[in-house]
Amino acid sequence: MNDRLLRAARGELVDTTPVWIMRQAGRYLPEYRAIREKISFLELCKTPDLAAEVTVQPVARLDVDAAIIFSDILIPVEAMGLHLELGDAGPRFPTPVRSSADIERLGIPDPEERTGFVGDAIRKARRALSDRVPVIGFAGAPFTLAAYMVEGGSSKSFTQIKRLMFERPELAHALLDKLTETVILYLKMQVAAGVRAVQVFDSWGGELSPIDFEAFSLPYLARIVSTLKATGVPVILFGTSMSTLLPQMKRTGADVIGLDWRIHIDEGRRILGPNVAVQGNLDPMALFLPEKELQARVEDILHRAGPTGHIFNLGHGILPSTPPEAARALVDAVHRLGTRAE
């Protein structure tokens, strides 16, 4: 197996910097769009043969150093008993969680029983890849999941979740506790199915002040990280607009901290210290640069990050309008230049 990513996550020497791309199985690939023409997004997530097929597509096309299982962070929330609608306008929960009764109605699902299709997709993807690269599993962070559930979908101001936190903190903590147990079981199921690393997406964690992150996110993330690390897999923690929260993110105990493009990666490493690996952090829009300028950006990040403890990635998901050729040029540049990074 190509184990560059696993070695980099542990801070070990690698022959070149490993690279994968968030949302690498997605709409920028024509082979993915061909499948999506025949099936809805949610159906695709729940059809193991097709989910495995789109998981493998970017490995074949881009030569990335890892696959990430095709799914959505809200899949386990639906399994808790909350009706989910996933459309072009984004996710929507028609009946948001706002009261004590709403939270009490939520279950902590058996992951094999309610989301076993994810485990099946992992096993099928591993077989299709012949285990030549590791498969990454993932889940949403409790605060991010709670934000979707309480807001009823995406939000710009996060008014409802913050009002719940500030006006009824006991209810917020009850919801976050249920979500934490759900995420732990869900990720352990993915590890049992064969993922070799897991990533926790705290997509909305950057909306919290340091004091609120400390109260409403850090303890729950730390529980997830400690439990998953006990299984032997590296844990990656990623969030957007969280550069000011790096000291708290480090305290979760995550093996790898993913950085968005809003901070120089060497500055992130300085804050995190020598014992934490980093992932990132090219601006996804940089894939629209001329190839020579893209290569210069790659080289700069590699130089700043250093040759060990770095997994190259974008600072967020690849954009649907990105030319696949640019993604391949990125991967090739990382592999070519990573051997010389100092």
pLDDT of residue 266: 98
Reported as a single tens digit per residue, the pLDDT across 41-56 is: 999 999 999 999 999 9
Q: Do 162 and 204 form a contact (C-beta atoms < 8 A)?
A: no
DSSP for 71-118, please give it: --TTHHHHHTT---EEETTEEE-SS---SHHHHHH-----HHHHHHHH
| Residue 258 φ/ψ, nearest 5 degrees | -85, 135
Q: Which burial class, exposed, middle or buried, applies to 144 when counting CB atoms under 10 A from its CB (0-12, 13-18, 19+)? A: buried
Dist. CA 274–CA 270, nearest whole Å: 8
Of 59, 23, 63, the residue nearest 41 (C-alpha): 23
Of 156, 148, 231, 158, the residue nearest 189 (C-alpha): 231
Q: Is the pLDDT of residue 293 over 70?
A: yes
Average pLDDT of span 199-210:
96
Confidence of residue 1 (pLDDT cuts 50, 70, 90): confident
Q: Do 337 and 295 form a contact (C-beta atoms < 8 A)?
A: yes
Dist. CA 304–CA 306, nearest whole Å: 6
Contacts of 188 (CB under 8 A, 6+ apart): 111, 227, 228, 231
Write out the catalytic residue numbers.
23, 27, 36, 72, 148
Q: Is the pLDDT of residue 283 over 90?
A: yes
* 3 state DSSP class of 288: helix
Q: Is the pLDDT of residue 198 over 70?
A: yes
Q: Is the pLDDT of residue 342 over 80?
A: no
Reported as a single tens digit per residue, the pLDDT across 144-197 is: 999 999 999 988 899 999 999 999 999 999 999 999 999 999 999 999 999 999
Torsional sign, CA 94, 186, 142, 68: negative
pLDDT of residue 88: 67
Q: Is the pLDDT of residue 199 over 60?
A: yes
Q: What amino acid is encoded at 139 in this protein?
A: A
Dist. CA 232–CA 196, nearest whole Å: 9
DSSP tag of 284: G
pLDDT of residue 46: 97
Hey, how many other C-beta atoms are within 10 angstroms of the C-beta on 109?
19
Q: Do 188 and 218 form a contact (C-beta atoms < 8 A)?
A: no
SS (H, E, C) 16-54: CCCECCCCCCCCCCHHHHHHHCCCCHHHHHCCHHHHHHH
pLDDT of residue 244: 95
Q: Is the peptide bond before 313 cis (omega within 30 degrees of 0)?
A: no
Neighbour order of strands in the sheet with 135-140: 67-68, 135-140, 197-202, 235-239, 256-258, 277-279, 310-311
Between strands 235-239 and 256-258, the pairing is: parallel
- Cross-strand pairs, 238: 201, 258
Reported as a single tens digit per residue, the pLDDT across 45-103 is: 999 999 999 999 999 999 999 999 999 999 999 999 999 998 767 899 999 999 999 99
Confidence of residue 339 (pLDDT cuts 50, 70, 90): confident
Dist. CA 179–CA 149, nearest whole Å: 11
Confidence of residue 341 (pLDDT cuts 50, 70, 90): very low
Average pLDDT of span 101-121:
97
